[in-house]
Structure 1
Amino acid sequence: MGKHVVVGSGQVGTHLATKLLTRGHDVTVVTRSGGGPDGTHRVTADVADQRRLTEAAEGADVLYNCVSPKYHRWLTDWPPLAASFLAAAEATGAGLVMLGNLYAYGPVNGPMTEDLPLASTTPKSRLRGAMWEQALAAHQAGRIRATEVRASDFFGPGASDQSYLGARFVKPLRAGKPVPLLWPADMPHSWTYLPDVAEALIVAGTDERAWGRPWHVPTNPPLTFREVAERMADIIGRPMPGVRELPWPLIRAAGLFTPLLGELRHVRYQFASPFVVDSSAFESTFGVAPTSMDEALRATVDAF
């Protein structure tokens, strides 16, 4: 068993560290607060401090970037963090596994595959694309081993308060009330189950075939918000109470006072048209399939 260093103990990092522990690995969790699951070695550090992160990663086989700055702070927070990860990976020889997303592709026509250009024109999404390009350049130069595992919107046990299919989705269904939506109710959208994200990160960090390219987390066929609500209502055993779309002008107005809501204009394209992940490359290469949607939705409902 190897030494694995997980940086971040949020919705993904916690799942990842727990899974690694159950497989007998030596797991270190690095956070600013010093948190992490029981059984892990917990290190308190400012991850942007290259010396501290390098110290934590000494002797590690794999270094996982599961950090998640607030979206409205990406432009200030990500550059020093990304530089710290690259420096620590190069200094220690640990393989760098980056948790990524789909923003860097920008709007697309058709399912997203890993060979699409990183064509987004928005500053935050371009930054995420540049982070991968810098890691890939270091990999190709032989300075580090790197891969990126990209996921769509998270859902499942342990999801953050910002999860579109989390508490604010499940609780109204349980109460028999319509689910309030920020986005159109009937647009197909890919949803990625948190335990599948953690599993994909482990595969990427322990299989030599993963290095040097990005991968999409195994993800089920897309569902609309309405379809998810119908399935969850059936699991709960209540009649489907319906969904309620909030007017976009109202959301834009609220964004003037709430930074997170103000950022939604940059990702609206992901919900105003089909947003579909093709994860067949990962599934066929590593023989890993996504958790069935029915099982994943039941676990999500039970979690709340």
Structure 2
Amino acid sequence: MKTILGTGQLGIAIMEILLKNNSNEQILLVNRKGKVGLVLPGNVGIMAADVTNKTDMETIARQSEVIFSCTDVPYQQWEDFYPATAVALAYALGKTNAKLVFADNLYSYGNVAGAVMTEEMPHKAKTKKGQIRAGVINTLLNSGEEFSNRVAFVKAADFIGPRIYKGLFGTDFLDKLYHNKSIILSGKPALPHTFSYINDFAAAMINVGNANDSFGQIWHVPNAPAMNLKEWVRLFETETGKKAKLVVLPRFIVWIAGLFDSLIREFYELGYQFEYPYLVNHAKYISRFGNHSNDPQRIVRETVKWYTSTQKSKMP
């Protein structure tokens, strides 16, 4: 059975692709409440579990061939949540024969000052969140334990696509675009920036999970060509027929705002991503699995299509 920890945008995208590939696939969804706001087919189960609990994770691992870890919590909770999750998963893997595909981001590399990121880069981030992510990699992949040969990390850039609520081009951006409100950017929006389409991320997770030779290593999701933020905004303007009201804030303004808002303060330490080009190499993945990345126009079209389908009664 394939188990998906987390029922956010990535977890649901993985489920949908698995079912598209095989409508009879046995799937178990896991979240904190044991509920999901979707009608599930009979071969997809849902259960409540605590991913930071060793016993819960061992129970799940004993009935799983592959575990896709796609959990997420607010930045302010990372310091407790992710180290505990890594320890619980390591314990469960050590007690079973399950394989783990861990959805990750690029924070562990830290500020590479515009260099193209590859899987061979060291995990030497100086930010708090980058160090937390590096610690998860060390616990699960670089521990030297036998189970590390059954672990793979799949790293994505910033999310874009359907069901993205918190991303730069998530529902908040689209709400403001459709209602002619100011859209705030920071950093240098004329620099190229890599985004990962959520369905490309999900497909990469599945491909890595299905390949016996993919474990014990890190993979980068195949992404659309990097474009600058203003180019992405123009695509959204073309697709929606709306004109964006962009406001670019200097970084020191974001720092000041962070003095009064803990979430903004968490975002501030990642500001380097928009002060330099943010470029990701995915040649390793393409060499092994091929290139299934979607082009920017399709990404924007599918994002807007999903958004408008959920907002019909609210559209101006």
Q: Normalization by structure 2: what TM-score? A: 0.89
Summarize deviations over 1:197-240 as a string: whole Å, max 9, x none: 111100111011211110001111111111111111111234x4
Deviation of the 1:288 alpha carbon = 3.1
Partner of 1:125 in structure 2?
130
Deviation of the 1:114 alpha carbon = 0.5
Is the contact made by 1:156 and 1:166 (CA closer than 8 Å) also made in structure 2? Answer: yes
| Matching of residue 17 in structure 1 with residue 21 in structure 2 | no
Q: Distance in 1 between matches of 2:8 and 2:244?
A: 31
The DSSP-based 3-state class of the residue aligned with 1:130 is helix
The DSSP-based 3-state class of the residue aligned with 1:137 is coil
What 5-or-longer segments of structure 2 have no aligned partner? 308-316
Is the contact made by 1:226 and 1:242 (CA closer than 8 Å) also made in structure 2? Answer: no
Letter in 2 for 1:44: A
Partner of 1:200 in structure 2?
204
The DSSP-based 3-state class of the residue aligned with 2:192 is coil
Partner of 1:249 in structure 2?
252
Summarize deviations over 1:113-132 as a string: whole Å, max 9, x none: 11111121223212211211
Partner of 2:151 in structure 1?
146
Summarize deviations over 1:234-253 as a string: whole Å, max 9, x none: 11234x44521134333222
Please provide the CA RMSD for this pair. Answer: 1.7
Partner of 1:74 in structure 2?
78
Q: Normalization by structure 1: what TM-score? A: 0.92
Q: Distance in 2 between matches of 1:69 and 1:95?
A: 23
Letter in 2 for 1:264: F
Residue pairs, 1:33-182, within 5 angstroms: 33-36=33-36, 37=38, 38-39=40-41, 40-108=44-112, 109-138=114-143, 140-144=144-148, 145-160=150-165, 162-182=166-186
Letter in 2 for 1:265: Y
Partner of 2:287 in structure 1?
284
Deviation of the 1:260 alpha carbon = 1.0
Deviates more, 1:173-182 or 1:81-90: 173-182
Q: Distance in 1 between matches of 2:187 and 2:155?
A: 22
Summarize deviations over 1:6-61 as a string: whole Å, max 9, x none: 11111211111222233232111111111345132111111111111211222311
Letter in 1 for 2:7: S
What 5-or-longer segments of structure 1 have no aligned partner? none
Is the contact made by 1:9 and 1:35 (CA closer than 8 Å) also made in structure 2? Answer: no
| Matching of residue 219 in structure 1 with residue 217 in structure 2 | no
